Structures are given as structure tokens and as C-alpha cells.
Structure 1
Amino acid sequence: MLPLLLAGCGSVTERKSSLTAPELFYLRPYGDRTGSKTKVPFHVQAEDVGASRGSVARDHRLTVDVSGSESVVRLRTVGLGGNGPRCHGGTVRVTCELGGDYDSWADLDRVYPVAAKGSGPGDTGVVRFTFTTGDGKRMTTRTRVVVGEPVVKVRTLKAVVGVRPGADVTVPLVVRNDGEVPVKGLGLKLGSEFLDFRQRYANCRYSLRSHGGTAVCRFPGLRIPPGGAVVLRPAVRLRASRTRTYTSFSQVAWPLDSGPGRDIAVPSRGDHGDGPALKAVVTSARDTDGTFTEGPVSTAVRLDIHADYEVFGVELHGSSGVRRQLRLRVRNNGPGNPGNAIRLVFTPPPSGVVKEPMREIDVDAFEPLCDSADGTYTCPVDELGPGESRDFVFTLRLYGPGEGSVTVEDEIPSGGRRDANPGNDTAAVTVLP
């Protein structure tokens, strides 16, 4: 037996043998390789906790059977396991000889359902699974399969620019079904970065942070026919930051009966909104303009605001060979905050750099913060809110009088600050006798 596993609050729970498969799975129509790009692949897992963990004995059996549904669904077997076939049978019934732990995503031998020739969108069938342990115990489960898929897409939006600080941003939401069968129930996830939800709807759960949050909304009774679309009303409103120059919001939708797509994380907790319900109004896809995309889409939001970054000149005194500490300061005079979009570039005066800023990469392990090349040091400034500053401390061995410089520039040459006062972006670093 496996050791007992701890399960929350100090309680102890014994791990149990199990056989799992999807309750529902949509199949591509026969011979069709298009369809959803985000669908989670068919997945079967079987585990006998009483089996020896290190054993490779094939004393367990997994039987997959679609008898009675042959006109809708057939079986396909892929792979060979080591010293010969582990699975044998036909397209209606397959038996695999396995060890005590099987995962169709990891093991070499896989059996999965495909649409039968002659089947059509909307046809349904049943796939039955039986896992027999080495001592004869049996576990069973089943999957209902449907030929055709609902392919849910959301309308992409152009970047929202010129937003006044603290103003509302209206987000029109449109969802379309480009699949062969209806969407039965809709899930929707809205994410905001440095944007606040102005209205919290009753059929959505909200997980909020200090710099935005996530809303997960569900429409269990909604049906979207193939080629149909829904418009969500009222349009979602988000309040923009008063200082954050660049923000964004994201959206993704999925059929409730089959769940979110691959790599789509959906919070399981959150507080229900206290406002009215968000409603999905069915319309024709022909009545909706724009580009629709499957999976998460993000829309940039840009405030109509600039950020004035300033660097300060420094004078060092000393003869050749003397060491001096140099403190370079950069300050954001506001009113905007462009985030991690700025870097400081330091060109030393005639001298040798004997000590430079470091950052911790592990416990008691450090590396230089700045990249050095061609005699200059380029340092990430990281985020500075309006009125905040940061110092970069170097130690120099002076070679005699001379002049260097310190400047601040955008990570992206096209400009992140939209600095209205570029005259204070550069300052001299001077060594005097």
C-alpha cells in the first residue's frame, strides 16, 4: 500500500484505487481534422494503489467497449509498449494488459474514441471502461460522446488608447459558436490588469487583487446554435487607473458541459457580485462584425498620460588611484507610471568599476544587476510610481579628471513614457581633481 497522504487541516485520508474518464467528450466528425485548437485531449487514468509501485508486471486489464454505439463511435489504438502489443482487439472492443498505474497521456499505449464512418454532427454514443486489478477487482466508468464540437470564440478588440486617468472603459463582449453542434451552457472569464470592475454581476464570481482581478461568469441555461452568437449585456465597464500608463484586460469563453480548454486556469473561488445578472442575448453571427478568436485574447489599454523620469548629475573628487562610491539616482516625477518600461544607462568617466549593483538569484547567490558591454552599464529600473526614486550604487577607481554620463531611456524605442520633459533624461558624471 502507498503511505497515507495528508489532506488539509492535519486530517489523514487513505488514497483509493480509481478509474477516471471524461463524462462527456466531443468528437471531430469522421475524417475532419479541423475544429477546436484548445480542447483538452481525451484522458483516461487507472490506478490500483495495492499494486507494487516498481512492478512492470502486466497483471491488470483495461477494457474499452463501444458495443451498441458502433454506428456513432469506434476505437483507435496507438502505440506499442516495450516487448510487444499491450492492447489487442478491434474498433469496437479493446483490452490492454497493464501495470497498476495507467495514464493515457503518459503511457505508450492509448485507446481513444473517434467518430464512426457515416455518423453525423449531433449523434451520440457511449464508451465503457473496465479496469480489472491483479486480484480480480473491477472498476467501471463511462463516457458519453457526441459527434461534432462546439467551437467557442470571442470577438477581439482593438487597443483602447487615449483614456483619461480614472475614466471608465466600456468592454463590449460578443461570443460566437463556430462548431457543428450547439453550445450548451457558457463559461466566461474576464481578467483585468490595473483596471477595476465598475459593476459586479450576480452570476459572476470575483477574485480581486490590489491591481485588478478576475471575474468568472456562468450561463448554464444558454444555448448557442452552430453559427450563432450572443452579445453580453450590459457591456462590462472597467475603471482605469489614475497613474498606470499601460493596462490590459483579457477574455476567454468555453462550453460549460465540456469545461475550459487546455492551459486555461479558472479560479474555483470568489465572491458573487451584488449587482444584476449579466445577460447573454442570442443573435445571428451575421449581425456581429470583427475578428473572433478561440482561447484567451488580451486587449491593451493606454492612458492619455506621460511620465517624467529624471536623472541627476554627480561630481566626484579625487586623484588617480583613489576609490570613490558613486550613487546614481533616477526619479519618476509623474504623473504616470509606465511600469517596468525604463532602463538606466551609465557610461563611467575615466575609471575602473570595482563594485557594481547586484541582485540575489538564490540564497546567498548573487549576480550583476546591470548588463555591461562596450564600456557602459545598462540597468533595469523596474517600476517607479509617481514621486518614487531608485539609487544605483557603483564603486570606481579613479584614473584622473574626466566626464561620463547617466541617462534614462525606454525599453522599447518607440516610447513608453511619452516624456514631456526629455531635457532631464541625461546628466553628467564628472571627476574633478
Structure 2
Amino acid sequence: MRARGTVLRPAAVCLALVMPLGGLAGCGTGAGAAKKSGISVPDLFYLRPPGDGSGPTDKVPFHVRAEDVKARSHVGTQDHRLTVDVTGSERAVRLKISEIRKKNPRCAGTGTRVVCRVSGTYDSWSDIDRVYPYAAPGSRPGDSGSVRFSFTTRNGKTLSARTRVVVGEPVVKVRTTEVFEDVGPGSVLSTPVVVRNTGEVPVRGVGLKLAVGTGLRFEHRYGNCRYPKLQKGSVTVCEFPGVRIPPGQAVVLRPALALNVARTEMYSSFLQEAWALDMGPAKNSAVPGGGDRGDGPRLTAGAAKGPDLKGTFAGGEVWSEVRVDTHADFEVFPVEVSGARGSEHEVRLKVRNNGPATPGSTTLLFTPPQSATVAKQPMEAIDEDVYEPSCDLDRGTYSCSVGSGLEAGEARTFVFTLRLGGPDEGSVRVADAAGTDRRDPDPANDTAPVTVLP
């Protein structure tokens, strides 16, 4: 249930020499513009304090890209030079060479200056010759410095860029409730959005993503948030550049998050994710771009008070489950079949949702009569002209997923072909998947016989 789209990342420095052909992605001036050689690094990067391995969830790694558009050969030929230098900032930051190439390094130097032989198209996320900045021994949260980069092209031109590094990180978390139980169908679920900084340095600007699953809808379309069109109102993204959160402190966003709860969905969920704007979202997060502003009230941040700070805080994408106080009556039907021994006959196993709600995932379990043999079973397409059984067989019972989308009044039928071997009786029944409960008011109709008549 995750929304997919373009991931927002922190801004990057891109300094380039104008050249007629090729270039580093993002360094051109628009469609049709000549591409340029360039080097791209983060404007700002936070470093864990010395000896501290905790920090933000799924942090985006340090990223360096460089390209010489006039290089005769790119990948695989180390005929360019990348220099990384922290001279003058030694009290805050040092350099570490990747250990992958330790025995035969193409990078060499000290903790303050490293030179690497790289290709004309270099990317630290994919190339094995990497140099990492880290917090210098003895540095403290808030200490800062500069990491300078230069990339020398084949014809001797030097491209330069710089990253400001800060010791310590803003670690942004949101207050979460794992499960909201017995929520009234058709009600409005209201919960505050509380953002806390558990890091070592202040949060300077907050980004926020909220997403709702089937059965939930935003009651307000916040005036200072955007609603990407592809997500059809199920996702909103907000930015609060003026919000400051000191270490250990929290803010609460108001008005509280209000969600309209459908009458027909038993289970749904919603997501909260917050991040420091100058760090960007977590590495594997998907934050869609674009979208129009809402026409409702503006979300504003205020200091969190005692009650707001109670509960559990978590980083990254945080999902809360919503269980609605309703039920679904599922029913299966008896089947009878007759015929000579060795003859084949279809049996149609039907499961129907008598409502009033749509539950979580359910499974139809079919145990054939022992005297019969299953000659054919339901199949599903997994590729063009490629099929596989849609039911799993375990110890004589077929398990067929009904799924989670069987709405009130709808039915699904699974067709098996049996080769008969004499009078006998099997069964068909429906069961909930792990972690769900239909709260079925009539469990007696959850099971029915499958009978081979004499």
C-alpha cells in the first residue's frame, strides 16, 4: 500500500565547464541545451558523532557523481583524477577510503586528503573506489567543516565542488499508534501529528508525508500541502521550512489529522513520515512530486506539551492499522456430484460475502472426498500464455486465496474437476488469513459438504 513516485532528495551542488557534447545529468539548462561535464555532491551532509552507530532510519548515503563528456572511454578506464580534501577542517571531519580496494587501491592519501584514479563517468554509489567523510575523533555535535572535491578531466580542466558537513544529525520521528481498535464505521478518526527530534543537532525545516489506504479519506485538504494527482487524493506532502526543533524537543501539527472512515471496510491503515528538509526522506522512501495545494485549513506547528509526548515514536515510514467495528458474513455452499467410477465432473465451490462490510484477506479451503482424484484445478496467468495453479496443496487440502476485495453482495467461484471413485464426502470452508477477523455473525455457514453420491 505504499504510494510510488519521484523521490525528493536534498539539493546538490553542480559546478561545470561548458562543453559542446554530453554532460552530467541535471547540469544542463533545459531541453535541447548542450550537456556539460560536471561534478555533483550534496550541499550539506550530517555525520554520526564519533563512536555512535545510531541515527536516522535508512539514511541516504553520501553521493558523489562526476562526468567528463569528452572522455574517450568512460566506465572501466581509470584515466581521470578525483581529489577529496578536508584540510583546515580536520577537527570536524576526516576521510576514509573504501576497504574494497585496500590491497590494490586506486585511491591513496591520508585522513585529510585522498586522490583517486577514476573513470570519466564516476558514481560513488556504483564504483568501488570510494572516499567517505566521517566525524573526526574528539569532535562534538554541532562542529562543522568543509569537504572539497576536484575532478580533473583528460584535457586538464578541473571541476570543483564543496560539501558542508556537520557532526551530529537531526533524527526525526513521528508519534505512532500501532492499531486503532473498534473505530466506528462512518466516523471521523482524529489523531495529532507529533514530530520529535531525537538527534544531536536541531531540525531546520520539516517535511511530512501522509497517506491513507482504502476505506480512509482525508477530511481536510490542507492549504499548505500538495496532493499529487496520480495518487488521487490518497497522499499529501507538506513542507515546513520555518520549523525548528531542538534536540530532544517536539512539535505538534494542528489541526489534528482527521480521517473519514468508510462504512464498508473492516481493515485499513494510514502512513506518517517526517524528515529534516535539509536531509531529505529516507533512502527507500517514495515521495511523489507535483500536485495542487489543498483548499482547507493550513497545518501549523506548535510546541508539543506533556500529553503529546506520551506514546511511541518511530522514524521512516510509520503505518498505523485501523480496525473498524463492523463484520462480514461469509457463506460457502454444499456441492453434490454423481456419476460412474472414473468419470470426470466439475465442482463449483462458491464463497459469498453477505456483508455488510469487506473484510481482510480470506482463504477457501477445499478437502476433496478421499475416493475422488483432482483432475483439474483453478489456474491463473503469471505471464503471456504461462499459467500456474491458483491454489496451494498441503496434506490433502487445497488452499485458495479469496483475497481482500470481496465486497458485500459479491461471490467468487473456484472450479475443480474431480475423477470419481465411489461415494464419499469432502468439505469446503472459508477461513481468515492471519491477523484478520471477519467477526462473522453466522459461523455455521462457513463450512459445507462436498458429496459424491452413490
Give the TM-score normalised by structure 1. 0.92
Task: Give the one of 357, 360, 366 matched to 2:378.
Answer: 357
* Gap change, CA 1:431 and 1:56, over 3 Å in 2: closer
> How far apart are residue 69 of structure 1 and its match?
2.3
State the Cα distance separating 1:140 from its structure 2 match. 1.5
Matches within 5 A, 1:412-423: 412=434, 415-423=436-444
Kindly indicate whether residue 112 of structure 2 is the aligned counterpart of residue 69 of structure 1: no
Please state how far the C-alpha of 1:284 moved relative to its aligned partner: 5.9
Aligned to 2:155: 135
The answer for the alignment partner of 2:408 in structure 1 is: 386
Rate the CA distance shift 1:406–1:26 in 2: closer, same or farther, 3 A. same
Cα distance change of structure 1 residues 425 and 210 upon mapping to structure 2, 3 Å threshold: farther
Aligned partners of 1:211 and 1:401: how far apart in 2?
Answer: 55
Name 2:290's counterpart in structure 1: 269
2 CA distance for matches of 1:16 and 1:210? 35
Question: Corresponding residue for 1:426?
Answer: 447
Q: Tell me the CA shift for residue 240 of structure 1.
A: 0.9
- Structure 2 portions without partners, runs of 5+: 1-20, 26-30
**Structure 2 residue 133 is the aligned partner of structure 1 residue 90:** no
Equivalent-residue separation in structure 2 for 1:396 and 1:165 (angstroms):
43
Q: Which moved further from structure 2: 358-367 or 71-80?
A: 71-80
Report the more deviating stretch, 192-201 or 284-293: 284-293
Please state if 1:60 is matched with 2:106.
Answer: no
Partner SS state of residue 21, structure 1: strand
* Structure 2 CA distance for aligned equivalents of residues 32 and 284 of structure 1: 29
Distance (Å, rounded) in 2 between the aligned partners of 1:392 and 1:258: 51
Residue among 71, 75, 78 paired with 2:98: 78
Cα distance in 1 for residues equivalent to 2:52 and 2:241: 29
Q: In the superposition, relative to structure 1, how do residues 83 and 292 fare at CA in structure 2: closer, same or farther (>3 Å)?
A: closer
Q: Indicate yes or no: 2:401 matched with 1:401.
A: no
Structure 1 residues 290 and 256, CA, compared in 2 at 3 Å: closer, same or farther?
Answer: same
- Match for residue 8 of structure 1? none
CA distance in 2, matches of 1:91, 1:326: 74
Post-superposition offset of 1:175: 0.9
SS in 1 for 2:388: strand
User: Per the alignment, in what secondary structure is the counterpart of residue 234 of structure 2?
Assistant: strand
Q: Distance in 2 between matches of 1:55 and 1:230?
A: 48
Matches within 5 A, 1:28-67: 28-53=48-73, 56-67=76-87
2:344 to 323, 344, 351: 323
1:370 alignment partner in structure 2: 391
Aligned-residue offset at 1:122: 1.9
| 8 A Cα contact 2:142 2:201, kept in partner | yes
Alignment correspondent of 1:292: 313
Contact kept in structure 2, 1:202 and 1:276, CA below 8 Å? yes
Matched-pair contact (CA < 8 Å) for 2:75–2:121 = no
Aligned partners of 1:283 and 1:428: how far apart in 2? 59
Measure, in 1, the Cα distance between the counterparts of 2:67 and 2:22.
Answer: 12
Deviation at 1:67, TM superposition (A): 2.5
Unmatched tracts of structure 1, length 5 or more: 6-10
Measured in 2, the distance between the counterparts of 1:378 and 1:205 equals 43
Q: CA deviation at 1:182?
A: 0.7
Residues of 2 paired with 1:401 and 1:210: CA distance? 55
Q: CA deviation at 1:30?
A: 3.0
The aligned residue for residue 185 of structure 1 is 205
Preserved CA contact (<8 Å) 1:193 1:211: no
**Mapped contact 1:348–1:405 kept (Cα < 8 A):** yes
Are the counterparts in 2 of residues 229 and 285 from structure 1 also a CA contact under 8 Å?
A: no
Q: Distance in 2 between matches of 1:218 and 1:331?
A: 46
Per mean C-alpha deviation after superposition, the further-off stretch among 96-105 and 204-213 is 204-213
Query: How many Å separate the matches in 1 of 2:45 and 2:247?
Result: 17
Q: How does 1:237-252 map to 2 (within 5 A)?
A: 237-252=258-273
* Residue 179 of structure 1: how far off its partner (Å): 1.2
Within 2, Cα distance between the matches of 1:415 and 1:338? 8
What is the distance in 1 between the residues matched to 2:234 and 2:309?
Answer: 28
Amino acid at match of 1:312: F
1:333 aligns with 2:354: yes
1:142 is displaced (CA, Å) by: 1.1
Matched, 1:163 2:183: yes
Distance 2:436 2:63 in 1: 47
SS at match of 1:226: coil
Task: Identify if the C-alpha distance between structure 1 residues 83 and 67 changes in structure 2 by more than 3 Å, giving closer, same or farther.
Answer: closer
Q: Is the 8 A contact 2:252 2:308 kept in 1?
A: no
Whole-Å separation in 2 of the counterparts to 1:368 and 1:12:
51
Are 1:346 and 2:405 matched, yes or no? no
| Paired residue secondary structure (2:71) | coil
Q: 1:233 to 1:266 in 2, by over 3 A?
A: same
- Calculate the TM-score normalised by the size of structure 2: 0.88
| C-alpha distance in 2 between matches for 1:219 and 1:385 | 40
SS of residue paired to 2:237: strand
1:254 corresponds in structure 2 to 275
Q: Partner of 1:411 in structure 2?
A: 433
CA contact (8 A) 1:193 1:212 kept: no
Distance 1:380 1:286 in 2: 43
Q: 1:351: how far off? A: 1.5
Query: Hey, what's the Cα distance between the residues in 1 that align with 2:283 and 2:121?
Result: 23
- For residues 360-410 of structure 1, the C-alpha deviation after alignment (integer angstroms, 9 at most, x for no partner) is 111111111111233221111122000000111111121122222211111
Q: 1:149 Cα deviation (Å)? A: 0.9
Is 1:232 aligned to residue 253 of structure 2? yes
Secondary structure of 1:29's aligned partner: coil
Calculate percent identity across the aligned residue pairs.
56
Aligned to 1:218: 239
